[in-house]
A and B are shown apart, each in its own frame.
Chain A
Amino acid sequence: GAGVSQSPSNKVTEKGKDVELRCDPISGHTALYWYRQSLGQGLEFLIYFQGNSAPDKSGLPSDRFSAERTGGSVSTLTIQRTQQEDSAVYLCASSLTGGAFYEQYFGPGTRLTVT
């Protein structure tokens, strides 16, 4: 079946512009995660959605970052007034539920470059 999809695959933007990154989770998956990965670094958790519960936003690095998930499916990560340090690969992952014994599957990522 279809995996997690993300768009765009690459995004180049000028400093100060806003960007939107999209994630389509695996159909039926209720848990959705956003991470970012800077070059040569580990995964940095950003935000977690589980069903209709309030999202866990504890990883968002600043108030310039926000995310929403409409209809329990597609999610959009928005970065306002982008800065050069926002340059990274943004990864989305989904899981059947947030329960303990369900694996997480990643999308291909969006590479964001802020010039």
Chain B
Amino acid sequence: QKEVEQNSGPLSVPEGAIASLNCTYSDRGSQSFFWYRQYSGKSPELIMSIYSNGDKEDGRFTAQLNKASQYVSLLIRDSQPSDSATYLCAVKRNYGQNFVFGPGTRLSVLP
């Protein structure tokens, strides 16, 4: 089992819809969780971080964390074609090389 798993996609949603991106992790000691967006040919860009169970909202983005289920998700409301990118989930352990990235989910928002 990989430490951080994501559906590779592509996930296609129509413009204006809610895009839901999911991530599971295996290390129960993980303490913090991050979502990055990566446009083709560009480097990853931090969207959100979440540390506590529950929801965290920032504009059109909502991150959800459930540590008991070892699950973190990102919701994008009112999806726009400009949201089309690969979304990387990252989990931070509290030891060693502590950032672990998932393989990413490719999102395509169709106009």
Contact = CB atoms under 8 A, between A and B. Distances in A.
Tell me, yes or no, whether A binds B.
yes
Interface of A: 33, 42-43, 45, 48, 56, 58-59, 89, 91, 93, 95, 98, 100-101, 103-109
Contacts of B51: 100-101
Contacts of B34: 103-104
Interface stretch (B61-69, B72-80, B97-105): B97-105
Interface of B: 31-32, 34, 36, 42-46, 49, 51, 88, 90, 92-94, 96-104
Contact of A56 (B43, B92, B97): B97
A109 B94 contact: no
A43 B44 contact: yes
Contacts of A89: 43
A98 B98 contact: yes
Contacts of A93: 99
A59 B46 contact: no
A109 B97 contact: no
Nearest to A92: B43
20 contacts: A33-B97, A33-B99, A42-B88, A43-B44, A48-B96, A56-B96, A56-B97, A91-B44, A95-B99, A100-B31, A100-B32, A100-B92, A100-B93, A100-B94, A101-B49, A101-B92, A103-B49, A104-B90, A106-B45, A108-B42
A107 B43 contact: yes
5 smallest beta-carbon distances between A and B, as pairs: A100-B31, A42-B103, A106-B43, A48-B97, A56-B97
A93 B42 CA distance: 13
Nearest to A106: B43
